[in-house]
Amino acid sequence: MNLSKSLNGSVISSARRLIRKRTAQVRRDIHGIRTIGVLGALSSSRPLLVHIVPMRRCNLACTYCNEFDNFSDAVPLETMKLRIDKLAEFGTCSIGISGGEPLMHPELDELIAYIRERGIFVGLLTNGYLLTEKRIKRLNTAGLETLQISIDNVMPDDVSKKSLKVLDQKLVLLQRFAEFGVNINSVIGSGTAQPEDAVVVARRATELGFTTTVGIIHNGKGQLKPLDERNERIYRELNSIGRKNFGYLNGFEKNLVAGKSNDWNCRAGARYFYVDEDGLVHYCSQRRGFPAVPLDSYTTSDIEREYSTQKECASYCTVACVQRVSALDRWRRSPQTILPQPTVSPRLGRTTED
């Protein structure tokens, strides 16, 4: 009798979790269509996606990454709220919380909830190390809508500790408890010992019901690092596995893998931009230094100018979020008539305070 009650209780609990997941997915889809698909299409001066950095510090030190240090303090919540208010004034459709490692921010839940209060779609980019059942449930409560983890290998090595061996149990927890969408990004070209590991990662993500994307590693300026024949073969295999997030927006990768340039209009600084921990607006994480304008003084005129400005780095750019966002404006046929401005190399990741 007790066993029967226990089994019934387990079935009911699982059913409730499934209902909550499905309900959250419907709400997430409606919110995404309304903000990005509808409102984002109405005006080219409305940012579609902005990445923000509330915490530059990271608990890892992947050798290819230039987006972290090991000493920075968290940006105060009130400061972040002011930045969210400014982005809301622009009519920003979605915000991705990046880093560093954003899960290290002590008030991340409050930040997520505030972004939702402002009606903005919110996602999180994390290495996944700090995820627990309790932490996932807190993210549910805060209103997180999507989460992405990039996994570089099966076993940790000198290049990256973001391995499937370490993170698999985190993925199982996400599969059981997350009410937000989960995407697993497989990375190729990062210099890991076994690049075929990316295929293993993608298959495991698919097995757990997650969407997948493929990340092509870039140099310090966001430019293509040419893939050898081995990595090209892996890329083709990855594209045959599972459900692809942003599938129809990933065509740019095919040319890059073949070593070919892309002819496109990069809308960085307008439809997409990156706000660093100091509150400065940059084209993207790999072009930090331009325009490097404080967010609180950035205007709609700046957005309109950057929308029409050519970007000298566009032809071989591998920064997927900028490519995908810009692709949504192809139908406008709005040529870029302003010549590109000189940019500077990004500040490299630091391991000691300098």
* Domain 10-332, classified CATH 3.20.20.70, yes or no: yes
Contacts of 53 (CB under 8 A, 6+ apart): 75, 98, 99, 100, 102, 274, 275, 276, 277
Q: What is the pLDDT of residue 39?
A: 82
- Residue 202 token pair: 């993608």
Contacts of 238 (CB under 8 A, 6+ apart): 186, 188, 198, 199, 202, 212, 214
Q: What is the pLDDT of residue 220?
A: 64
Q: What is the pLDDT of residue 81?
A: 98
Q: What is the pLDDT of residue 352?
A: 31
Q: What is the pLDDT of residue 344?
A: 47
- DSSP assignments along 279-338, one per residue: SEEESSGGGTTSEEEEGGG--HHHHHHHHTB--TT-TTB--HHHHHHHHTTGGG-----B
Q: What is the pLDDT of residue 306?
A: 97
* Amino acid in position 235: Y
pLDDT along the chain (354 residues), means of 10: 60 79 87 84 92 98 93 98 98 97 98 98 98 98 97 92 96 97 88 88 96 79 74 89 68 83 95 98 94 97 96 91 92 87 47 33
Q: What is the pLDDT of residue 351?
A: 33
Q: What 3-state DSSP class applies to 346?
A: coil
Q: What is the pLDDT of residue 348?
A: 41
Query: Domains of the chain: which residue ranges?
Result: 10-332
Closest among 343, 259, 276, 267 to 308, alpha carbons compared = 267
